[in-house]
Amino acid sequence: MKLPTAISAIISALAGIAAMHGQPAAECGTGPAGNCREISGNGPQYAVVGLSVNFLREAPDYTAELGTQALMGDIVEIMDRNGYWCKVVTEEPYTAWCTDLGLVPMEASELEEYRATPKYICTAWKSTVYSCPSMKSLKICDIVEGDILRQSGKTVTVRMDIEGKAPVTAMEIQRYRRPVTRHGFAEVILPDGKTGYVPRKDIMDYGKWKAECSPTAENITAEAMKFIGVPYLWGGASPNGVDCSGLVRHVFRMNGLLLPRNASQQALCGSAVDIPELYPARETTDGKNSAARLFESLQPGDLLFFGTHGQDGAGDSISHVGIYLGDGRMIHSSHYVRINSLIPGRPDYYDGADRLLTVRRILQTD
C-alpha cells in the first residue's frame, strides 16, 4: 500500500511536533514522573499523557465542551496555564485544555531518555495494569487500545566464544536488554514512573507492531468493526466513546496512519474519488441509476463525507464522515457506531445519505 501525495504532505507537516521527541508522526511514547511541574528554561515545554484516555476541553473548565481525547503516551506541547489547567497542542495538531493531573512533563534530557526506551502498545480493546503479576492483585489503572507504555527491562550478560582467536578459550562478553515477564504478565513503566504488570496477551512490542502495520481495506474494516455499538461521544476518539471523525482517526491510527482530528480536515487527505450525483437516483445514459454508479466507484476503506453544498460562492460544509465497507454500506458513529446502507429502500438505509458531498481515498494499491 502507499499513501497519496496529499496525506503524505499532511503527515510531513505533523512531523513537526513528532520530531521534538525523535519519532515519526504516528508514534507516541511515555515520560518520567511528575504532574505538570514548572519546567526550567525558555524553550518549548512538553508533556506525555498519563491517563488511559485524557479528556481535552475547549476551555479550562470541566463544564466546557469536549474537543478531543488523547491516549496514554501521546506527546503534547504545553502552550499556556490557567490554574491547574494546561493548554496543550496534540500531534494532529489540536489545541485544547486538560488538567495537569493528566500530564507528565518532560525536559530535554528526559525526552532523550524516553526516546531511547523500548515501548509496548496496548492491542486489546481494554486492559488493566496490576500491582503484581496476578489478576488478583491491586489494580493500578486501566488502559485501552492504542495506549503506549514503556517496557521494564533488565540487562542480560552473555558469554560467547570468539572463533579464530587464540587462545581458543577466549570469551567475549555481550550485553543486551530483555523485557521483564512473569507468569504471563509483562512488567511496564507508566508515564508517572510507577511500575506495574499487564497481561502479556494484551500488549505488543511497539517496534514490532509498527513494522507489521498494514493499512489494507481488510484491516481498516476489521478495526472499525470493533466499535459496533459504542456510544456516540462528541469529541470522543477512543474505545471509551467516539464521534464520527474520532472513529475514523482511531481506526486509521491503529493501522499506522495518523489523520487529522476533524472531518473537514480529513476531507483534505488522500485523493478525491470521482463520483456521480447520488440523488435523485436518476437513470444515466448507460441505463444505470446514479446510486449504482456510485458504488462502482467506491472501494472499502474510502471515507464518505456528508454535509451541505455551499451557496453564493461559499464552500461546502462537512458535518459527518463514515467508512465505506462495500455493497453500498458504511460504518459510522451516529447516536452509536453502526452500519447503514446508502441504498434507498433497504431497512438499514441512512436517512442522511442524500447529503453525500465527497469521497476521499486514503488507501491506494500500487
Which tens digit of pLDDT belongs to each residue from 55-83?
Answer: 999 999 999 999 999 999 999 999 999 99
The domain boundary, picked from 85, 115, 145, lies at: 115
* pLDDT at position 278: 53
Instruction: For residues 15 and 144, state if they share a domain.
Output: no
Instruction: For residues 11 and 158, state if they share a domain.
Output: no
The domain boundary, picked from 82, 97, 115, lies at: 115
Question: Is it the case that residue 178 has pLDDT exceeding 90?
Answer: no
Instruction: For residues 299 and 152, state if they share a domain.
Output: no
* pLDDT at position 161: 55
- Mean pLDDT along residues 290-300: 79
Peptide bond before residue 4 is cis, with ω within 30 degrees of 0:
no
- Mean pLDDT along residues 94-117: 89
Instruction: For residues 64 and 141, state if they share a domain.
Output: no
Cell of 42: 525558555
Mean pLDDT of the chain: 83
* Tally of structural domains, the chain: 3
Percent of the chain past pLDDT 90, that is, above it, reads 65
Q: Which residue has the higher pLDDT, 37 or 334?
A: 334
Amino acid type, 37: R
- Mean pLDDT along residues 85-104: 95
Instruction: For residues 218 and 363, state if they share a domain.
Output: yes
Q: Cell 456528508, residue?
A: 306
- Mean pLDDT along residues 123-145: 98
C-alpha–C-alpha distance, residues 39 and 90, integer Å: 18
* pLDDT at position 112: 80
Question: Is it the case that residue 356 has pLDDT exceeding 90?
Answer: yes
> For residue 75, what is the domain's CATH number?
2.30.30.40
Instruction: For residues 88 and 165, state if they share a domain.
Output: no
* pLDDT at position 1: 42
Instruction: For residues 51 and 159, state if they share a domain.
Output: no
Q: Cell 503524505, residue?
A: 8
Spatial CB neighbours of 126, under 8 Å, sequence gap ≥ 6? 142, 143, 144, 145, 239
237 — pLDDT class (breaks 50, 70, 90): very high
Q: For residue 39, what are the CA distances in angstroms to 9, 30, 46, 189, 257?
A: 32, 17, 9, 22, 32
105 — pLDDT class (breaks 50, 70, 90): very high
The domain boundary, picked from 157, 189, 210, lies at: 210
Instruction: For residues 236 and 301, state if they share a domain.
Output: yes
Instruction: For residues 145 and 200, state if they share a domain.
Output: yes
> For residue 252, what is the domain's CATH number?
3.90.1720.10
What would the pLDDT profile of 181-223 be if each residue is shown by its tens digit?
999 999 999 999 999 999 999 999 999 999 999 999 999 999 9
Question: Is it the case that residue 341 has pLDDT exceeding 60?
Answer: yes
Instruction: For residues 359 and 231, state if they share a domain.
Output: yes
Q: Alpha-carbon torsion 127, 128, 129, 133, what sign?
A: negative
Domain limits for position 126: 119-210
C-alpha–C-alpha distance, residues 248 and 68, integer Å: 13
* pLDDT at position 190: 96
Instruction: For residues 11 and 96, state if they share a domain.
Output: yes
DSSP structure string for 160-228 = EE-TT-SSTT-EEEEEEEEE-EETTEEEEE-TTS-EEEEEGGGEEEHHHHHHH----HHHHHHHHHTTT
Q: Alpha-carbon torsion 45, 252, 72, 116, what sign?
A: negative
Spatial CB neighbours of 175, under 8 Å, sequence gap ≥ 6? 155, 156, 157, 158
Instruction: For residues 254 and 231, state if they share a domain.
Output: yes
